Structure 1
Amino acid sequence: MNKIHLTKKDMHTRGGILDELMNNLFDVSILIDTDCKIVHISESSYKDMPKGTNVIGQDITILDNISPFRNVMKTGRASTGLLLEIHGRKCVSNIFPIEEDGQIIGAIGTIVFRNLQRVKRMFAGSDSGGPDDLGEIYNSISRIESGYTFHDFVGEDPTVKDLIEKSKKAAGSHLPVLIIGETGTGKEIIAGAIHNRRYNEQYAPYVTINCTAIPENLLESELFGHEKGAFTGADAAKPGKFEVAAGGDILLDEIGDMSLFMQSKLLRVLESKEFERVGSSRIIPLQAGIIASTNKNLFLLSEEKKFRSDLYYRLNTIELFIPPLRRRSGDIPLLLDHFCDELETKLNLTQSALRLLTGYVWPGNVRQLRNLTQRLAIFYENKQITEEDIAQELRVGQRTYNEAFGFTKDDETTPLSVIENTERSAILIAMRNQKNNVSAAARELGLSRGTLYNKLKKYGLAPKG
């Protein structure tokens, strides 16, 4: 899908949902007609123009003489994933032709300085009314690219540099990629960046499917599609994710939660490189690259017969490990600056507050740090943020978290107790993940075996015997 279907009336009507989408979903957006004359631009597009400037009716080259608007109008094919640098900021530009009754009537150009996941989330959560065909904008964006590049994975730690280098090499091949990392480490960023690197400046669909979110009885249909009447409720034929992703990539997110039944189906597809829709005998060739991600230890699960070992070894042809934030705490100041730039704000942290942040265990990893940054930006605007303030904010949800792992002292709010409580919980998680194997748990935590033994004794968690 690389066209947006609108009528001329919708395209030339101002103040409606199209304008709302252009103003709110993109950093810059431009609407042009068949003569490449500017019909409308988003409000944010005026930010860097002299006051009173009016470009409506002018040729697009007055604003953009780089992007291939005329070629899109001529060919009727979208131009996506064009990487640009505007005012020193890296961005992704896309141009989608607009079609009415088979005729190209215009085009919309979009620029996003931050990743397109923000656009997808905003659109998906919108309950605004309007023509159903405007949904094509969201579908086109979702299927054309992931929106992430390697610039979105922030860090200078050697483990991060090694990860990025290996991921770029992975993008140069079409072998299956398995991305392993704890929740919140940024697996979706690496997956999306691999796709964008692999299909730089080319139209290529990028389809994601969460293997946890879809019930098992529907997952086969979601992956492979179905024919009309294949099962109750199948009122029409529907292509599956593998079919939609042809010529691009499919991300199988949280594949460690996939049932053994579906694992066998997936293995058969990967081995034969073909599949059938549910209720059909027509063979469809597999033409999508496979990227899988998980927060589970698939090797351990395969040893326990909870994950097919043959599928694991098929998927991990290229295996990438994303380090947890606690293993690269030196990147925390960089990440704070990055999130503040996204929010267009600044935080005034004391040195002791920053030390507390870099000493924290971060069970929620980078996602937790992002959420904390957002809270601090709201509650501590134009205020100095102390160590005690950080300790208080880190306790958001801490009581529930600690009670789940056997720690119920909810009256300790000192900065030291926050770190110790979280460290204790992280050790408990690692020991449970590794079935009380101290050496394996130490590797998971990024600690030496001796250090972990000392901490186990400190918290009264040392294995008996």
Structure 2
Amino acid sequence: MTTGDDESPPTPGRPSRSRTYQAVPSTSPFGPEPELDTRNERLMREPREAVVEAARGWEAPYREPKALRVQREGIEDLTVPLYPDRSYVFGRAPESTVVFPHDAVSRQHGRLSFREDQRWVYRELNSKNGSYLGRAEAQGPVDARLHFQRVGPSRDQILEAGDVVLLGNGKSRITLLAEVPPGAVAAPRAGKEVSSVTVQLERSIERCARHHLPVFLLGKSGTGKTFIAREIHTRSGVEGNFVILNCGRLPQDTNALTSELLGHVKGAYTGASIARVGKLYSANGGTLFLDEVEFLSSVAQDFLVDVLEGTGSLAPLGAPADFREPPPRFRLISASKVPLRQTALRPDLTQRLATGDFIILPTLEERHEDIPHLVEVFLHRLKVEQQYDAELTREAIAFLQKARWPGQIRELESTVRTVVAREAAQQELEGLARHRTLVTLESVRTYLEQRELGFGAPASEPEPRGTRPSEEVTVAVRKRPSDLTGEDIRRALEKHEGNKTRASVELRVALNTLKARMKALGIE
């Protein structure tokens, strides 16, 4: 897509790809409220272009944040890059995006997300002690909340770079940054055990980051296509957004599709309370990532071909007949689980998608040497984001290297997160102080066996790669509690060093049932 350098003046009520808002000077008739409140109130209730006329041409750019600095009492500061396709939940609950392990913070305290009008907004989730909004320079020496404005619950609060959100007692805070600092949330560096296919993949990413041709990614589900696309965008150094368009979820209705891709003006339809910037304009100056492109419907294919060829209208839904705005320019990256010729896509569309570079993503089976490093990366994320300090034993990691991963990297990460959370919960259940969690081979094996039972094993299950007869993964046949022998129970207790809870998991019976059976058999 190409665009000219000149932009037509905006029309009232029209969504614009210009990422600016118009501010009213301190002499504004909106009242004597603080500038912070005035800015948010005004942006919430008035179209951006209406404020242009009210301000008579005086405009200030919307300072879009690119990262968060998270400060938690007694914990090292954390910097998190912001991605418009994600939302960020802050709270005490372990499932939060960023965990604040303090009683003053509620389990689900607040959420930060990128709204369809191109604004980052914070929503207070009815927390017990509230959230407070202000500027970094307004923080006081004693209690910063005295200089901040309390955020009302269940309402979007527009934020920009330089804003600070205090959670609870004010000792937990989030600062929005204009740029991502170098080394933010730095992951562990890869060690010497890196597979040759991973080295080749890294070279391909670097090559694609140095040109602006379209890129087509082919790989199984879970191999990291979105991650690779984002890496290409980040390393290319472009200033625009990385915008994900999930092709399998696009609406079939023409009007809804237009709104999704090109946006709509305020009042375009019932419920359109704010103007929406479409995905194509959101990607202007950046990267548009067509994920699961093989699932594009025929209607969406026709629409996209017209737009890419410059023959279709680029007017947002409900825009006036005289709409004139330069077309967006973006880098196009697409991804599929199947080769293009095996899809039902139009030939002219596949030609556009394939006119550029290709990256074939390796499976986890092809890069099993990388599993120890991947596990280290996942553990690092758990530590900085959710305060899980954990490690896996060498035996556990070796077991993961031999296992089958039909869900690829996504399944491996899910497994690591689950076994760590389970082990930490078990420590808490047993009354152990929370300290570094050691995940053993037995913990990993038990989880994967239970997971296999939950999913249901296929009729013919292939052996894990590289297993010898003595290493073969076996799932014990579940006995009825009344059939459990003293030998069964003693063996399980010995295996788990007398831990009844883990022995009950091994035997697949409830803990109370195990205790009752032990009493009946006279086992102490």
Q: Tell me the TM-score range normalised by the shorter chain.
A: 0.5 to 0.7
Aligned pair partner of 2:331 in 266, 269, 289: 289
Residue 452 of structure 2 is aligned to residue 398 of structure 1: yes
2: CA distance between counterparts of 1:9 and 1:239? Answer: 26
Q: Using the TM superposition, give the Cα deviation of residue 151 of structure 1 relative to its aligned residue in structure 2, in angstroms.
A: 7.5
For residue 223 of structure 1, report the CA deviation from its aligned partner.
Answer: 0.9
For residue 365 of structure 1, what is the amino acid of its counterpart? Q
Matches within 5 A, 1:44-63: none
How far the C-alpha of 1:115 sits from its partner, in A, is 4.5
Give the structure with the higher percent helix.
Answer: 1
Q: Distance in 1 between matches of 2:378 and 2:35?
A: 40
Q: How far off is 1:158 after superposition?
A: 1.8
Name the counterpart of 1:194: 232
Distance 1:2 1:366, change over 3 A: farther
Out of 336, 342, 365, the position equivalent to 1:300 is 342
Aligned AA (1:337): E
- State yes or no: 1:213 paired with 2:179: no
Amino acid at match of 2:331: G
1:379 is aligned to 422
Aligned equivalents of 1:359, 1:252: Cα separation in 2: 33
Three-state SS of the structure 2 residue aligned to 1:216 is coil
Counterpart residue identity of residue 416, structure 1: E
Max Rg structure = 2
Q: Deviations over 1:389-441 (max 9, x none)?
A: 322212354345446x5569xxxxx973479xxxxxxxxxxxxxxxxxxxxxx
The CA deviation string for residues 83-112 of structure 1, in whole angstroms up to 9 with x for no partner, is xxxxxxxxx689xxxxxxxxxxxxxxxx86
Matched, 1:116 2:61: no
Kept in 2, the 8 Å contact 1:394–1:418? The answer is no
Report the equivalent of 1:161: 199
Question: Alpha-carbon deviation of 1:153?
Answer: 10
**RMSD over aligned Cα, in angstroms?**
4.5
CA distance in 2 between counterparts of 1:232 and 1:133 reads 20
Q: Which has the higher contact order (CA 8 A, sep 6+)?
A: 2
Q: 1:392 to 1:339 in 2, by over 3 A?
A: same
Q: Structure 1 residues 418 and 174 mapped into 2: Cα distance closer, same or farther (>3 Å)?
A: farther
Counterparts in 2 of 1:251-270, with a 5 A limit?
251-270=289-308
Contact 1:224 1:276 in 2 (8 A): yes
CA apart distance, 1:259: 0.5
- C-alpha contact 2:222 2:410 (8 A) present in aligned 1: yes
Secondary structure at the counterpart of residue 243 of structure 2: strand
Instruction: Name the residue aligned to 2:125.
Output: 128
**Residue of 393, 399, 411 corresponding to 1:349:** 393
Alpha-carbon offset, residue 190 of structure 1? 1.4
Structure 1 alignment gaps of length 5 or more: 12-74, 82-91, 95-110, 409-413, 420-465
1:416 aligns with 2:472: yes
When residues 407 and 10 of structure 1 are mapped into structure 2, their CA distance, relative to the original with a 3 A threshold, is farther
Matches within 5 A, 1:412-451: 416-417=472-473
Structure 1 residue 211, shift from structure 2 partner: 2.1
Map 1:50-89 to 2 at 5 A: 78=63
Shift of 1:178: 1.8
Of 219, 243, 265, which aligns to 1:181?
A: 219
| 8 Å CA contact retained: 2:247, 2:293 | yes
For residue 358 of structure 1, report the CA deviation from its aligned partner: 0.6
Amino acid at match of 2:378: F
Secondary structure of 2:249 counterpart: coil
Cα distance in structure 1, aligned partners of 2:214 and 2:184: 19
Residue in 2 that maps onto 1:334:
373
Contact 1:120–1:142 (8 Å) recurs in 2: no
Deviations 1:184-216 (A, max 9, x none): 22222211121122225xx42222222223432
2:223 partner SS: coil
> What are structure 2's unaligned runs of at least 5 residues?
1-18, 25-32, 38-59, 70-76, 90-110, 114-122, 127-150, 164-175, 384-388, 425-435, 462-469, 476-524
Give the aligned residue type for 2:228.
I
Counterparts of 2:332 and 2:308, CA distance in 1? 9
**Percent of aligned positions that are identical:** 24
Whether the aligned pair in 1 keeps the contact of 2:215 and 2:334 (CA below 8 Å) is yes
Q: Report the residue type matching 1:380 in the other structure.
A: E
Alignment partners' CA distance in 1, 2:187 and 2:313: 34
User: Structure 1 residues 279 and 385, CA, compared in 2 at 3 Å: closer, same or farther?
Assistant: closer
Pairwise CA distance, 1:356: 1.9
**In the TM superposition, what is the alpha-carbon distance from 1:262 to its structure 2 partner?**
0.9
> Is the 8 Å Cα contact of residues 206 and 248 (structure 1) preserved in structure 2?
yes
**Structure 1: how far apart are the matches of 2:397 and 2:229?**
30
- Please name the residue that 2:93 is paired with: none
Contact in 1 for aligned 2:283/2:328 (Cα 8 Å): no
Equivalent residue for 2:52?
none
The Cα of 1:258 is off from its aligned counterpart by 1.2
Contact 2:390–2:439 (8 Å) recurs in 1: no
For residue 207 of structure 2, what is the amino acid of its counterpart?
K
Equivalences, count: 318
Q: 1:262 to 1:152 in 2, by over 3 A?
A: farther
Q: Deviations over 1:293-342 (max 9, x none)?
A: 233333322xxxx2223212211222212212121000011111122222
* CA separation of 1:77 and 1:161: change in aligned 2, threshold 3 A: farther
